[in-house]
Amino acid sequence: MAHPLKPAATQVKSLFISAGHSDSDPGAVGHGHTEADIVLEFRDLLAAYLRGKVLFDKDGQPGQNLPLVEAIGAAKSHEVAVEFHCNAFANPAATGVETLSSGEHYPLGNAICQAVSETLGIPNRGAKGESSGQHSRLGFIARGGGIIVELFFITNKSDLAKYIANRRRLVEAVGNVLIEAVCADNYDEAA
């Protein structure tokens, strides 16, 4: 007997995606790129990937983002809120992906880290607490209840090159993790 088709998953959590920087606050700079350019592009590509798959809000129109206070307010009204950044360090050999969040978000943070690490071939620095990174005081975590994703080190030429070469694959990998995080599977194995 043929197995019935698996129905589509149902979204059960709301989603908010945010670019951590903008023209007014360009963030870190490395190898001719600004953090703002990278995270705005990534957020916009991710929005395009998610469109039609799940409902979500984001922090602005393509190429721009909301002021931090507004982004924090928007993040608070969603069960899953993710803000994208690039890490930076004086040592150009520093590498890898990490997330910053409260402990309740470590499982999702770890899943995002794994997807980024596998896609870009960079170390997985893991899910960490809010005070672990340079973006710890932005308020997106403490006041917004969100997860900050440090995609890679913009100051590491190899990390940056891997991102540029694989950004569309990365959008898909991170997008799939977020889709899974906000959706429940309706499939009943007993059916």
Q: Stretch 33-59: mean pLDDT, rounded? A: 94
| Residue 24 pLDDT level (bands cut at 50, 70, 90) | confident
| Residue 71 pLDDT level (bands cut at 50, 70, 90) | confident
The domain limits of the chain are: 11-184
- What is the pLDDT at residue 8? 58
Judge contact between 142 and 26, C-beta under 8 A. no
Q: Stretch 80-94: mean pLDDT, rounded? A: 94
Could you give the maximum distance between any two Cα atoms of the chain, in Å?
62
| Residue 75 pLDDT level (bands cut at 50, 70, 90) | confident
CA distances from 121 to 58, 65, 134, 148, 155 (A): 28, 29, 23, 20, 16
Q: Does domain 11-184 have CATH number 3.40.50.300?
A: no
Which of 104-118, 120-134, 172-186 is predicted least confidently? 120-134
Rounded CA Rg of the chain: 17
